[in-house]
Amino acid sequence: MSSPSKRKVSIKDVAATAGVSLQTVSRVVNGSEEVASATRERVQAAIDSLGYRRNELARNLIQGRSRTLGVVCAGQDYLGGRQLNSGITAEAEAFGYALLIREHQPDDPEPDDRFVQGLLDRQVEGILWMLAERHTAHEALIRRITETHGVPVVALVRSESVGVPFSAFDNFGAGVMATRHLIERGRRRIVHIAGPEHAWDAQERLRGWRHAMEEAGLPADDSHLVFGNWGPEGGEAGFLTLRERLGGFDAVFAGNDHTALGAMSAAHKLGLQIPGDVAFIGVDDVKGSGWYVPPLSTIRRNRVEMGRQAVRMLARLIEAGRAGQTLALPDYLCAPELILRESS
Amino acid sequence: MSSPSKRKVSIKDVAATAGVSLQTVSRVVNGSEEVASATRERVQAAIDSLGYRRNELARNLIQGRSRTLGVVCAGQDYLGGRQLNSGITAEAEAFGYALLIREHQPDDPEPDDRFVQGLLDRQVEGILWMLAERHTAHEALIRRITETHGVPVVALVRSESVGVPFSAFDNFGAGVMATRHLIERGRRRIVHIAGPEHAWDAQERLRGWRHAMEEAGLPADDSHLVFGNWGPEGGEAGFLTLRERLGGFDAVFAGNDHTALGAMSAAHKLGLQIPGDVAFIGVDDVKGSGWYVPPLSTIRRNRVEMGRQAVRMLARLIEAGRAGQTLALPDYLCAPELILRESS
DNA sequence: CTGTTAGCGCATTCAT
DNA sequence: ATGAATGCGCTAACAG
């Protein structure tokens, strides 16, 4: 093995071996034009031979900016929860921002100030908020982050009441789209197995279902509705509950694909034909949903684009903040896309 | 709205309002015992009223440590790829480390020095390597990170040749376990639809299959094997290829659950009974696999524990490096767990 | 074009 | 038990 911990080479070392001042090295490193090409080459040679790399920490400190974004996300198994979508990482990369992650585990206490303190202490310039719970504690926390600490926040969940701009999926539109699709297919008794009651996106999809049903003059009262947990268990239980409650129905709009999967499983066990007796549609276009039995119709969202937009918005807010301005940013609403398969 | 960007309060402000020196404030903040309780309270009062929080960036700079770990992971849709598992975040949190993420997108060029430079420039103290490709470029890069830059690396994929300790799933053991299970169930013609050929874990699972087959005196030549892509498409295509090639077989060991899903779909279309005509087993225990048709037997790995172990190992290596020692760390191999369901 | 002076916010000597 | 001086690695503002 070679020497384990060789001292880091600093700008000072480069300056010494190149025989110039620190400042000149700094200029070369930052690509300033105001340096003679002769010295530039000399400095560059020293940099290369010493293997110098500038210490971003020091640079961040003096410039008063960390070039870092905080990401607050759920640590659960929900798709779109724990998963960092590549749009965020790619766009952050492009803006020169690093990403600091803070996960909220399901069994953690509700997020309070201490929860984001670690991000704030590391001087993140902005925060991407990916938690979908409808909890007033969240709203208060977000407000404190933006107002007390002056750190901009962009939400990846639609939640007007929080008062920060968002880049989110049009969950309401998705609910409408899914339900209208079933109606167009001639279905009339369409039930909804929603996500958890306290989740923003679940509520929005539910609203969409109700809207589409009512505009078609079909029943969408609470008897046609049951809440699940985003998982197959909830879908299975919900399906059985609804059967017992209503006797029968001819279509299921499931809050997401996993819920639909569980519900379809229940239908199979009851000997029902899909889509003959009951049609199904989900939301997410989860990996594998095209190979369920039968392949599941679903609503897709462009996560990459949502992520990109969120980072762009945050970057603009940070920029404005540095300039001392307050910016009213338009939200970005990601359009749902219908994926037709055999289940409906 | 309140004032958008109030100047950050520093240790200096606290010292002024409390009427003490910077040093004393520093002591209070760091919980040193050597401070009179009277002054401590005065300082604490100033801290509270001003809302002071220490700037971790400055602290990191002077201490020469960033309290940050780099995470290099795949930006793909593979389960276990993009997903940061909560074991990592939880344990990092416990050690006081922040996580800096660097994703490798499938269409990115092979990782070179520039790929990890961003992490290194931000002075990460260690790197968690989650890329599973068997590429010599990776090995060379990892070696340069540890040797040239003196930054320890722990892999989350078993890959002895790289020469860094790992905390990984026992993919070989999983292959053996899955295959033996099928054999015990009386299956004899057991084919394997593997992951991509260049993936470490795919190769290990394949080896496990071959080992179990040969120890039972069953055929495990290349005609019983086909490579997939970790997705249902690969499973479907692989199943059809094997049918055409062999005529028939009575069990499929799929490289992962999604592959199994695609293969089961192909079997359904051919009118085969599962598990009557063909049994199936996968690996991953993906969300939903318990509701596939039929529910899929699979091998589970404890991701949380793997993550915890990896961070612990890295922390120890960092500690040793600071003390100038070289540490030979035992690897951690996560034991596979058989999940029995109806497909086998 | 280049060097000097200063300081980001904090912790680590050493004094007292 | 407290304070003063020093410096981490770098850049901003000014000189020359």
The 3-state DSSP class for residue B25 equals helix
Buried b (16+ CB within 10 A) or exposed e, A193-202: bbbbeebbbb
Exposed / middle / buried, residue A185 (Cβ in 10 Å: 0-12, 13-18, 19+) = middle
Note the Cα B120 to chain centre separation in Å.
20
Residue B298: is its pLDDT beyond 50?
yes
Kindly write down the DSSP assignment for every residue of B256-306, as one continuous string. Answer: SHHHHHHHHHHHHHTT--TTTT-EEEEES--TTGGGSSSPPEEEE--HHHH
Through-space separation of residue B56 CA and nucleotide D14 C1' in angstroms: 30
pLDDT at B211: 98
Of A75, A93, A231, the CB nearest to B287: A231
pLDDT tens digit string along A212-222? 999 999 999 99
Of A77, A265, A321, the CB nearest to B5: A321
Mean pLDDT of A137-149: 91
CB contact under 8 A, B101 and A99: yes
Is-contact B47 B17, C-beta < 8 A?
no
- Stronger pLDDT, B297 or B326, i.e. the higher one: B297
Name the minimum distance, in Å, from the CA of B103 to any CA of chain A: 7
Mean pLDDT of A28-38: 87
Is-contact A127 A145, C-beta < 8 A?
yes
- Stronger pLDDT, A89 or B274, i.e. the higher one: B274
Mean pLDDT of B238-255: 97
Note the Cα B132 to chain centre separation in Å.
9
Distances (CA, A) of B97 to A158, A236, B29, B60: 31, 41, 19, 12
Average pLDDT over all residues of chain B? 91
Name the minimum distance, in Å, from the CA of B217 to any CA of chain A: 34
Chain A residues within 8 A of B99 when measuring between CB atoms: 100-101
Name the minimum distance, in Å, from the CA of B215 to any CA of chain A: 34
Asked if B27 CB < 7 A from strand D, the reply is yes
- The owner of tokens 């240790």 is B11
Through-space separation of residue B253 CA and nucleotide C14 C1' in angstroms: 69
Asked if B64 CB < 7 A from strand D, the reply is yes
Of B53, B121, B231, the CB nearest to A120: B53
Among B203, B72, B198, smallest CA distance to B134 is for: B198
Residue B82: is its pLDDT beyond 50?
no
As given in the structure block, the two tokens for residue A265 are: 């499983």
CB contact under 8 A, A1 and B147: yes
Average pLDDT over all residues of chain A? 91
Is-contact A153 A318, C-beta < 8 A?
no
Chain A residues within 8 A of B271 when measuring between CB atoms: none
| Backbone φ, ψ for residue A194 (5° rounding) | -85, 180
Residue A93 CA to residue A111 CA, distance in Å, equals: 27
The 3-state DSSP class for residue B130 equals coil
pLDDT tens digit string along A234-277? 999 999 999 999 998 999 999 999 999 999 999 999 999 999 99
Residue A110: is its pLDDT beyond 90?
no
Kindly write down the DSSP assignment for every residue of B47-116, as one continuous string. Answer: HHHHT----HHHHHHHHT---EEEEEEE-SS-TTTTPPPHHHHHHHHHHT-EEEEEEE-TTSPPP-HHHH
pLDDT at A77: 54
CB contact under 8 A, B89 and A83: no
DSSP state of B133: B
Among A266, A224, A220, smallest CA distance to A242 is for: A224
Is-contact B184 B226, C-beta < 8 A?
no
Asked if A32 CB < 7 A from strand D, the reply is no
Residue B76: is its pLDDT beyond 70?
no
Through-space separation of residue A12 CA and nucleotide D9 C1' in angstroms: 9
As given in the structure block, the two tokens for residue B236 are: 């479907």
Note the Cα B177 to chain centre separation in Å.
22
Among A148, A249, A270, A127, smallest CA distance to A193 is for: A249
CB contact under 8 A, A86 and B103: yes
Name the minimum distance, in Å, from the CA of A68 to any CA of chain B: 9
Of B54, B89, B147, the CB nearest to A103: B89
Is-contact B324 A4, C-beta < 8 A?
yes
Residue B28 CA to residue B274 CA, distance in Å, equals: 68
Through-space separation of residue B28 CA and nucleotide D3 C1' in angstroms: 15
pTM (whole model) above 0.85: yes
As given in the structure block, the two tokens for residue A189 are: 């008794």
Nucleotide nearest B21, from its CA to each C1': D3
| Backbone φ, ψ for residue B199 (5° rounding) | -90, 135
CB contact under 8 A, B293 and A326: no
